[in-house]
A and B are shown apart, each in its own frame.
Chain A
Amino acid sequence: MGEYGGYIWSSVSIAFAVVLIAAVQSVLRHRAMMADIGRRLSALQQENDSTKERES
């Protein structure tokens, strides 16, 4: 690739890095959402359990 090798490899690396970042961001966001909903459900379950205990 001669004199243009630096330009070519930097643009290829940046393009691939951007795709990788976008993909990782998508996966992490989904996992964070799942974990957040899981935490809320868990808190709700604990609240229900303690209410039942108090009532009994």
Chain B
Amino acid sequence: MWKFFHKLASPPHFYRLAPRFVLGFGVVGCVLIGWGTYAGLFLAPPDYQQKDAFRIIYVHVPAAYLSMMAYSIMAISAGIGLIWRMKLAHSVAAAAAPLGAWFTFSALVTGAIWGRPMWGTWWEWGDPRVMSELLMLFLYIGYIALRVAIDEIGKADKASAVLALVGAVNIPIIHYSVEWWTSVHQGQTVVGGKMAPEMLQPLLLNILGFTLLFGAMLLYRVRTEVLHRERRSRWVKAEVLQTVGAP
């Protein structure tokens, strides 16, 4: 087991292994999303309070969940890279940031669209869940901007890892904000068995589908990051020559 992980941490080994998972995750993810979205939009019964508007949950919850999951992956990888100086860990952190930012943006926009018919407003500045999620988008943007601003990769890795670790405090705040403070945002629905199985199953399918798609995109982006970092190494030159052809 340890031998497998040790080998996986080697950039060339990861680069060659990742494509096998990218295609599988991508195809299965798309199928699950198609199935889950169809069941959620057309087969699930309407909610007794929110009526059909609750169906936004089938895209909003996966996006919100992945926004936090991407940040957790980013912070844990950054921590591993900072402590154990593992090259691949910093690549994973750097690759997770743009994806996390996209999913956070999606969660905020779909949340605003859901808020209009349910709360009577697109945006609620005083809501702790909305504000902590917005803060996470700024953390992602800050992380990406910091990496771009520092030319030397080693320094960029260290500085951005510190920012990612400090910002990780926002994850439990987002998760528990609806319990800790008064919020217009509804409480935890998925955890706690408050949803009827016919409503919950399409949601779980979509969460799994979007997670697999996220995994595929993450692996793809980590490969690009590895390529960038190892561009002067002999194995990358051989890989490029094999892909784009001899100069």
CB distance from B67 to the nearest CB of A (A): 11
B247 near A18 (CB under 8 angstroms)?
Answer: no
Tell me whether B213 is interfacial, beta carbon within 8 Å: yes
A12 near B59 (CB under 8 angstroms)?
Answer: yes
B109 near A33 (CB under 8 angstroms)?
Answer: no
Question: Given contacts A19-B213, A21-B102, A22-B98, are A7 and B53 in contact (CB under 8 A)?
Answer: yes
Question: Given contacts A7-B114, A18-B103, are A42 and B224 in contact (CB under 8 A)?
Answer: no
User: How many interface residues does A have (CB within 8 Å)?
Assistant: 33
Tell me whether B217 is interfacial, beta carbon within 8 Å: yes
Q: How far is the CA of A1 from the CA of B53 in the complex (A)?
A: 8
Greatest chain B CB density within 10 A among A1, A4, A30 is at A4
Report, as a range, how many residues of chain B touch the other chain.
Answer: 35 or more
B231 near A4 (CB under 8 angstroms)?
Answer: no
A12 near B37 (CB under 8 angstroms)?
Answer: yes
A33 near B56 (CB under 8 angstroms)?
Answer: no
Greatest chain B CB density within 10 A among A19, A26, A45 is at A19
Q: How far is the CA of A13 from the CA of B220 in the complex (A)?
A: 24
B244 near A35 (CB under 8 angstroms)?
Answer: yes
B102 near A33 (CB under 8 angstroms)?
Answer: no
Partner of B220, one of A3, A7, A30, A34: A30
B110 near A11 (CB under 8 angstroms)?
Answer: yes
CB distance from B48 to the nearest CB of A (A): 14
Q: How far is the CA of A51 from the CA of B206 in the complex (A)?
A: 59
A38 near B102 (CB under 8 angstroms)?
Answer: no
Partner of B247, one of A5, A14, A16, A38: A38
B60 near A11 (CB under 8 angstroms)?
Answer: yes
Question: Given contacts A4-B53, A7-B53, A15-B59, are A38 and B240 in contact (CB under 8 A)?
Answer: yes
The 6 closest A-B pairs by CB, nearest first: A42-B247, A15-B59, A11-B110, A38-B244, A4-B53, A18-B106
Q: A15-B59, A38-B247 are in contact. List 15 more A-B contacts (CB 8 A).
A: A8-B52, A12-B56, A12-B59, A14-B113, A15-B60, A18-B63, A18-B105, A19-B102, A22-B98, A22-B102, A23-B217, A27-B220, A35-B244, A38-B241, A41-B247
